[in-house]
Each structure stands twice: as structure tokens, then as C-alpha cells.
Amino acid sequence: MKKSEFEEKLKQTAAAVKDSRVKDAMLYSLMAGGKRIRPMMLYAVTEGYGLPAETADAFACALEMIHTYSLIHDDLPAMDNDDLRRGRLTCHKAFDEATAILAGDGLLTYAFETAVKTAGVSAEQVLEGVRILAGDAGPDGMVLGQCLDMQESVLTDWEALQTIHHHKTGCLLSAPLEIGAVLAGCDAETCGLWRQIGFDIGLAFQLQDDILDVEKTAAELGKSNSDERNEKVTGVSLLGIEKARTLMNQLYDDSFAKIEKIKGFESDALTGLLREVQHRNH
């Protein structure tokens, strides 16, 4: 699946919502670009197992909707209070705070309405995929990570920060890998291996973000650097930039090695995508 093809699928899916100011805000944030890493990871897993792209379409759109909802809410004044996202005004700045909250709510709920329309697999597989997505997005997953991230008192050491990254970032990077395995009919052990790989990639990804926040300007990144403004503890501030970079690369490389050993899986599409992620500059 090409990114441009997914963009069109995502646009068509979101366009089915009834017209309103909330829909305008949903589309403003959802179609603002972005790397689309999570849906592309899902497509790469299903491709590696020989499934047609259509099998992943609904969950791919759902993943991006949930990711976008999380960004809209993360940018709000009550959270990180950011003005810039993906090179333009954040949703609450372009519209207003109430509309941004509703746009996030709309994307979150519409994601599940979309996911259940998955075709080509059993109802049991769709249900398990929805369970994974809900768990990784919810109060034991990404929401917990956001909650912990807002509690400065819990950020005492690297272990505590890893717990935050595991939930806030790792869950939604683990979900596409595990859901892809479920759609391919993998056993529980293999799905669990994909889940752990996703958490390792999530930690690497977050360390990479922390490094880029230090090395790049807000204009280069296309988003506000609220971590620095809010004096938040990061992997770089705890480990130092060189140790953080070394750990990041090790986590990526270890993940590639594990992926290439999974039986019955053609890894080229996924490892190629993740190597591009590893060497991103924004």
C-alpha cells in the first residue's frame, strides 16, 4: 500500500461523516499530512503474511484516527498547550477549544465504527483486533501514558520514563503489528512477540523524538517544542544525547533481527519502512 493510496482511503472514510463544524475540524487535523507510520506498519505486516491490502484498510484508518485524536487533545491548553502541529496551527487554535475537544471525541469514536467494517476475515478476528485497539488506546494504554506524563512527580528516573513511553507511545505502535498478526490468523505466542517488538520500536521512536527536539527547531519539526518550554524530563535529559542515540539504534536493530526470524513472514516491506523511520529527520 502506497502512502498516497492510504491518504485517499482515509479521506473517503472521514468524508462519510455528516457535515458540521466538528467534521471540518476532524478533517483539518486528520488530513494535515503526517508520516502515517501506524497504518503503514499494519499494511506492511498484512503484506508480509500475504493478505490483500483491503484486509487492513478499516483498521489502518482507525489507527490514524485514534492517533490524530490523541494529538488534538495533547495540544490542548490543559495538556501541552501547543500552537503548532504538522507545520500549521493546532486544532484548538484554528477552530476553538470546544470544537477541538469534540473533534478528538469524534475521531476516537468513529475509529471503532470504522474498524468493525473490516472484511475478508472472521468476526472473531475483527473482535480481537477491536479489543487490542481499545486496550492500547484506553485507560490501561495510551491514556494511562498521557496521565503519567502529566504527573511530574512520577518522572524520577529512566525506569519511570520508560513506563510512560511504553504506554503513551509504545501502545499505538504495538497495536498495528499485533492487529496485523491477528488478521493473518497467527497464534497467541506469535501475536505476543509482535506486541513486544512494537513496544521496543515505541521506545526507540520516542527516544528519537527526544533527540530531534534537541537538534531541530520548531520550524524544522513542524510542531511546537513544548517539552523544552515546560522543562519536561526526557530520554535525552536523563541519559544524555549520545547514550540516548545508541540505545535508540540498538532497539531498532534488535527489532529488525526479531522480525526477520518470525516464521512464515516476509519481512522486507516492514523492515524497509522501519529503517526509513529510524533515519527520519522530523
Q: Is residue 120 part of a domain?
A: yes
CB 63 within 8 A of CB 35: no
User: Does residue 136 have a pLDDT over 90?
Assistant: yes
173-223 pLDDT, tens digit per residue, is 999 999 999 999 999 999 999 999 999 999 999 999 999 988 866 555 555
Instruction: Give CA–CA dist 254/281, Å, rounded.
Output: 21
Q: Strand, helix or coil at 89?
A: strand
Stretch 125-153: mean pLDDT: 93
Q: Is residue 36 part of a domain?
A: yes
Judging by beta carbons within 10 Å of its beta carbon (0-12, 13-18, 19+), is residue 134 exposed, middle or buried? middle
Measured CA angle at 165 (ends 205, 64), to 5 deg: 65
Q: Is residue 277 part of a domain?
A: no
18-48 pLDDT, tens digit per residue, is 999 999 999 999 999 889 999 999 999 999 9
Q: Strand, helix or coil at 85?
A: strand
Structural domain for 224, as ranges: 3-272
Count of H helices and E strands in the chain?
16, 2
CATH number at residue 72: 1.10.600.10
Q: Of the given ranges (96-100, 114-118, 213-217), which has the lowest mean pLDDT?
A: 213-217
Using a pLDDT cut of 70, give the percent of the chain over it. Answer: 93
pLDDT at 230: 53
CA distances for 126 relative to 96, 109, 123, 175, 179, angstroms: 36, 16, 5, 13, 9
**Nearest CA-CA partner of 36 in 281, 278, 277:** 277
Task: Read off the C-alpha cell for 245.
Answer: 542515540
**Number of compact structural domains in the chain:** 1
Write out the H or E segment, with its range, that includes residue 217. Answer: none
Q: Is residue 152 part of a domain?
A: yes
Q: Is residue 280 part of a domain?
A: no
Task: Read off the C-alpha cell for 167.
Answer: 504506554
